[in-house]
Amino acid sequence: MASQWLDFVPAHVLADKNGLQKVVAPAIIWGTTGRWRRSKVHPAKPSRGDGDSNPPSSSSTTLRYTVTSAKMFTGIVEILGVVSSLSPSDASGGTTLVISNAAPVLIDCHDGDSISVNGTCLTVTAFTDSTFTVGVAPETLRRTNLGSLAQGDSVNLERAVSSHTRMGGHFVQGHVDTVATIDAKTPDGEAVTFRLRPRDKDVMKYIVEKGFVALDGASLTVTKVDDVEGWFEVMLIEYTQSRVVTAAKPVGGDVNVEVDMMGKYAAKSVEGYFEGGGVPVALQKLIEKIVEDKLAALQAK
């Protein structure tokens, strides 16, 4: 991700008798999008001292901080880009993609920025006013549906969040967990219900009804789950259908799936707790400690 700025952070400035200033401010602060590191200082004007008789004065200054947090997305697709070329690499097994029709996500682009392509976080290596180039590693091709892309295919695009991004969806990392196959598409008025079956059934434990899931990078609400059969459903309203690539995919098509990372963290914490013994072991240790203390007290008498 390129540098993002967080300006107008107040800092205390001490000015000595010669007007020299020392900025007193933290090197690192924490914001809503992660850790910010101080990178530039805009000092206040020097004080007008008139010799030793003028005591140190205080003023204020503006600091500039750059974000150093991990790349994140919101799952709100900004635009549909088009694959204009694919260049497989015989040496590495990876592929270089050139995406066109992408002007809206390149307005503030820099080399090294992250853009979500069908829900996969990729690094921009070159760009023009309306196209950008990304490299796709062999592991990414194996874990996602990017390996099946062809020239002319549409892809969901979203820039990484900035300090002023509105959170319209949910926190999406751009790390695809698995690929799901579209089992069925069922019209429901102007909406369409998609039934999806993940290749890796282990992800089903993180998918819950009314929870979030990212499909090809789009934040959607789960409407139904069948853990036994190993599928889940989402509904795409008419507005969404025209703005994401998933809507046009046929039955049998592949969709990138990233489950809600909060579910992963919650599951890991709970599993670790019970693997460590959970309540029974903790209670047992507490009782043993009470008994030992009582016995020690009796022996002391």
Q: Are residues 154 and 211 in the same domain?
A: no
Residue at a domain's end among 67, 90, 114: 67
DSSP one-letter code for 169: S
Token pair 């796709």 is at which residue? 136
Q: Are residues 63 and 97 in the same domain?
A: no
Is residue 165 assigned to a domain? no
Is residue 188 assigned to a domain? yes
Q: Are residues 59 and 39 in the same domain?
A: yes
Q: Are residues 183 and 234 in the same domain?
A: yes
Is the pLDDT at 141 greater than 70? The verdict is: yes
Residue at a domain's end among 21, 46, 67: 67
Is the pLDDT at 148 greater than 70? The verdict is: yes
Q: Are residues 94 and 51 in the same domain?
A: no
Is residue 256 assigned to a domain? yes
Other C-beta atoms within 10 Å of 6: how many?
Answer: 19
**CA separation (Å) from 77 to 142, 150, 245?**
23, 20, 10
Is residue 167 assigned to a domain? no
Give Cβ neighbours of residue 130 (< 8 Å, ≥ 6 apart): 100, 101, 102, 103, 106
As beta bridge partners, residue 105 has none
Q: Are residues 253 and 274 in the same domain?
A: no
Q: Are residues 40 and 58 in the same domain?
A: yes
Q: Are residues 52 and 21 in the same domain?
A: yes
Q: Alpha-carbon distance 180 to 198, whole Å?
A: 4
**What is the residue-averaged pLDDT of the chain?**
80
Q: What average pLDDT does this structure show over 21-28? A: 47
Q: What average pLDDT does this structure show over 244-267? A: 92
Per the structure, how many domains does the chain have? 4
- For the annotated catalytic residues, the residue numbers are 73, 114, 121, 123, 137, 175, 221
54, two tokens: 């003028």
Is residue 171 assigned to a domain? no
Is residue 170 assigned to a domain? no
Q: Tell me the residue range of the domain where 294 lies.
A: 266-300
Other C-beta atoms within 10 Å of 97: how many?
Answer: 22
Task: Confirm if 261 and 213 have CB atoms less than 8 A apart.
Answer: no
Q: For position 87, which CATH number holds? A: 2.40.30.20
List the beta strands (DSSP E) in the chain.
5-15, 21-24, 28-31, 34-42, 57-67, 79-88, 95-100, 114-117, 120-127, 132-136, 154-159, 178-188, 191-198, 212-215, 218-226, 231-236, 254-259
pTM above 0.75, yes or no: no
Q: Are residues 195 and 252 in the same domain?
A: yes
Q: Are residues 208 and 138 in the same domain?
A: no
Kindly report, residue by residue over 153-195, the tens digit of the pLDDT: 999 999 998 767 677 778 898 999 999 999 999 999 999 999 9
The pLDDT of residue 60 is 45
Is residue 166 assigned to a domain? no
The pLDDT of residue 52 is 47
Residue at a domain's end among 112, 127, 159: 159
The pLDDT of residue 4 is 42
The pLDDT of residue 282 is 65
Q: Alpha-carbon distance 13 to 59, whole Å?
A: 5
Is residue 72 assigned to a domain? no
Tell me whether residue 190 is exposed, middle or buried, using C-beta atoms within 10 angstroms of its C-beta: 0 to 12, 13 to 18, 19 or more: exposed
Q: Are residues 257 and 270 in the same domain?
A: no
Q: Are residues 216 and 253 in the same domain?
A: yes
Token pair 């690499």 is at which residue? 89
